[in-house]
């Protein structure tokens, strides 16, 4: 049983998947944060573009 835990703790398979999950979660969190910060500016820009296209 000790040998199993020793080999399990030294095994590196799946570590890259965990890294990508953490990286992706960080990027999604950053995107949500930026969207919250810039949402008012984006609304103003969209309205400006809508008015220019309607004219």
Asked whether residue 2 is assigned to any structural domain, the reply reads: no
Asked whether residue 39 is assigned to any structural domain, the reply reads: yes
| pLDDT band per the 50, 70, 90 thresholds, residue 46 | very high
Residue 46: domain span: 15-54
pLDDT in tens, 10-26: 877 777 888 899 999 99
Report the predicted TM-score, pTM, of the whole model to 2 decimal places: 0.55
Asked whether residue 3 is assigned to any structural domain, the reply reads: no
Nearest to 19 by CA among 27, 9, 8, 30: 27
Mean pLDDT value across the chain:
89
How many whole angstroms separate alpha carbon 41 and alpha carbon 38?
Answer: 5
Asked whether residue 31 is assigned to any structural domain, the reply reads: yes
Asked whether residue 1 is assigned to any structural domain, the reply reads: no
pLDDT at 33 over 90: yes
| pLDDT band per the 50, 70, 90 thresholds, residue 38 | confident
Q: How many domains does the chain have?
A: 1
């Amino acid at each position: 049983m000790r040998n199993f835990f020793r080999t399990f703790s030294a095994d590196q398979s799946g570590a890259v998947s965990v890294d990508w999950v953490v990286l992706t979660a960080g990027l999604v969190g950053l995107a949500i944060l930026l969207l919250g910060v810039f949402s008012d500016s984006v609304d103003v820009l969209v309205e400006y573009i809508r008015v220019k296209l309607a004219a």
